[in-house]
Structure 1
Amino acid sequence: MTFSLKTESESPARTTLHLHGRLDAQTFNDFDLAMLDVLPRVAEGGTVVLDLSALDYISSAGLRSIAKIRRSMRARGGHTLLLNPQPQVRKVFDIVKAVPVNEVFASAQEMDDYLDHIQRQITGNDPAGMV
Structure 2
Amino acid sequence: MSFSLHTDGLSPQRATLRLHGRLDAMTFGDFDGGAAPVLEQMGQGGTVVLDLAALDYISSAGLRSIAKIRKLMRAREGHTLLVNPQPQVRKVFEIVKAVPVSDVFSSVEELDVYLDRIQRKVLSGEDEDT
Flag whether TM exceeds 0.5 (same fold).
yes
What's the secondary structure of 1:26's corresponding residue? coil
User: More deviation in 31-40 or 46-55?
Assistant: 31-40
Q: Give 2:31's aligned residue.
A: 31
TM-score by length of 1: 0.93
- In the other structure, the counterpart of 1:22 is 22
Q: Counterpart of 2:60 in structure 1: which amino acid?
A: S
Shift of 1:92: 0.1
Counterpart position of 2:55:
55
Q: Which amino acid aligns with 1:94?
A: E
For 2:61, give the aligned amino acid: A
Superposition map of 1:1-131 within 5 A: 1-124=1-124, 131=130
Deviations 1:63-113 (Å, cap 9, x if unpaired)? 000000000000001000000000000000000011111100001110000
* Matched residue type, 1:15: A
CA deviation after TM superposition for structure 1 residue 37, in Å = 1.1
Change (3 A) 1:50 1:130: closer
Question: Cα–Cα, structure 1 residues 29 and 43, in superposed 2: closer, same or farther, change >3 Å?
Answer: same
Deviation at 1:11, TM superposition (A): 3.3
The two structures have a TM-score, normalised by structure 2, of 0.93
1:34 Cα shift?
A: 1.7
Structure 1 moving runs of 4+ over 3 Å: none
Unpaired runs of 5+ in structure 2? none
Separation in 2 of the partners of 1:75 and 1:19? 23
- Amino acid of the residue matched to residue 42 of structure 2? V
Identity %: 67
Task: Return 5+ residue gaps in structure 1 as ranges.
Answer: none
Question: Shift in Å at residue 123 of structure 1?
Answer: 1.9
Partner SS for 1:112: helix
Summarize the Cα distance change of 1:111–1:20 in structure 2 as closer, same or farther, 3 Å threshold. same
Letter in 2 for 1:81: L
